Amino acid sequence: MSLVTVQLGQCGNQIGGQLFNTVVEDAYGKGGLGCSKKENTLYQDAVLERFFNTEEPSGETRVSCSQQVLPTARAVMVDMEPKVIQQTIQESKKSGKWRYCEKAQFCQKRGSGNNWAHGYGHHGPKARDAVMDIVQREVEKCDRFGGFLSLMSLAGGTGSGVGAYLTECLREEYPHSFLVNQIVWPYGTGEVIVQNFNAALTLSHLYQSADAIIVFENDNLHKICSQLLSIKNISFQDINSVISQELASVLQPAASVDNGRTNSPGELLERLVPDPQYKLLNVRTIPHTSERALAFSSFTWPGLLKHLRQMLIANAGMEEGVDWQVKVHSRDRRLSSADFTSSLANVLFLRGKHCESTDISPFSDPRLYSSWVPRDAAFSVFRQQRPFHHYEKYASLLSNSQAPVGPLDSLVGKAWNMFASRAYVHQYLKYGIAEEDFLDSFATLEQVISNYSNL
């Protein structure tokens, strides 16, 4: 099963480059020492099939990173200015382990100026035909096409505006394919003055066209880098390493405990999005430790899973500083919805030695889940005995839960206030967006907030 990744704007391209690095480092790194040669080869082949094209145009086949011809990322690079795409391609060359197909890129000369409407109303339609041709070529290279993974930020103009537009085009041209969008939530303090407009417009559009939206928050990632990885001057590269690791931990090959199926997008969406009104997902992982510190750390499965469960119910983005006072109550005893974070569905990924013998029953506690989801459908587990990246044991939880409600509520509130004063609205209207489009977006997101609040 193969994924075609669509990298949009500065953020999407930078994360894409890092994601491909991470999956290759994982597949060809230390993890292989923790399993048999045969298991390792099967894993590496599955990673190649999932993320890379190993066919030369001439028909020559490459099967290993150690051979001279490198695997080519199944990626489409889109930006409205060339700089970031060029840098990302240069970085990939430095890795010496994989490469981009330089023909699979689309760029223009000028960015979207952090204006969603410029991206959505102007650049998007102009880029459509060329980008869809590249996409089609990438899809045709897959023997077993499993869906699209689009990477983008919410706050700029290209990732958000062109990204929202192209996701609609993908939905139109590939109506039966799975569309998963990974989005980066801007810093609360805000580098872009109109970020709440851009974010609200993007999210409301993606809500109509994507199958699932995986949310990463820059504020939370920043805390992981400073508090857990002890990084001093945190760069986007550091933050993107964390995103890539978390994302790879749910996308790298693993098998379902119930039926042995692999974690294809279709399989994950079936388990996580039982109703299209609820499609906001987030990932929590444990542990976050630098490679150097790992040599002095030891983790047990019960310890990791106890923390991960508490992170889920207390809505904590990382293991440090989790509020242990938050407890799960049965529904009739729940005092308010703020009590603990309720879920619609969770998928747990366990990677590393002896992961099959650990007790996962605390995650299937029915009190964690909304009452209308059938008990056996709300929680599933995928396992992979091969250690992940440089971790002996690694656990990840991909959740459809109430976690995004707080940030979404605050974002819509700020966007409303700015709209009420009509600040910057004229800059959007000149690219063909009407005031009603803002109002429709706010209404869509208010509905999402209300649905999740009532879980």
Q: Could you list the residues that contact ligand GTP (CB under 6 A)?
A: 9-11, 14-15, 80, 111-114, 153, 155-159, 184, 186-187, 191-192, 218, 236, 239-240
> Looking at beta carbons only, is 26 or 217 nearer to ligand GTP?
217
Amino acid at the residue 22: T
For the bound state, the minimum distance from the C-beta of residue 79 to ligand GTP, rounded and expressed in Å, comes to: 6
For the bound state, the minimum distance from the C-beta of residue 194 to ligand GTP, rounded and expressed in Å, comes to: 10
DSSP 287: -
Pick from 45, 51, 41: nearest CA to 2:
51
> Looking at beta carbons only, is 157 or 274 nearer to ligand GTP?
157
The DSSP line for 92-158 is HHHHSS-B--TTSEEE-SS--TT-HHIIIIIIHHHHHHHHHHHHHHHHHT-SSEEEEEEEEESSSSI
For the bound state, the minimum distance from the C-beta of residue 152 to ligand GTP, rounded and expressed in Å, comes to: 7
Q: Is 416 exposed, middle or buried (0-12, 13-18, 19+ CB in 10 A)?
A: middle
> Looking at beta carbons only, is 46 or 89 nearer to ligand GTP?
89
For the bound state, the minimum distance from the C-beta of residue 412 to ligand GTP, rounded and expressed in Å, comes to: 17
Residue 414 near residue 240, CB atoms below 8 Å: no
**Of all residues in this chain, which one has the CB nearest to ligand GTP in the complex?**
156
Q: Is 433 exposed, middle or buried (0-12, 13-18, 19+ CB in 10 A)?
A: buried
> Looking at beta carbons only, is 220 or 315 nearer to ligand GTP?
220
Sign for the pseudo-dihedral over CA of 346, 15, 77, 249: negative
> Looking at beta carbons only, is 114 or 402 nearer to ligand GTP?
114
For the bound state, the minimum distance from the C-beta of residue 85 to ligand GTP, rounded and expressed in Å, comes to: 10
> Looking at beta carbons only, is 123 or 307 nearer to ligand GTP?
123
Residue 147 near residue 268, CB atoms below 8 Å: no
> Looking at beta carbons only, is 234 or 255 nearer to ligand GTP?
234
For the bound state, the minimum distance from the C-beta of residue 90 to ligand GTP, rounded and expressed in Å, comes to: 15
Please state, in angstroms and rounded to a whole number, the distance separating the CA atoms of residues 213 and 202: 11
The DSSP line for 375-440 is GGGSEEEEEE-SPBTTBSEEEEEEEEESTTHHHHHHHHHHHHHHHHTTTTHHHHHTTT--HHHHHH
For the bound state, the minimum distance from the C-beta of residue 153 to ligand GTP, rounded and expressed in Å, comes to: 3
What does the block give as tokens for 240?
A: 């993107």
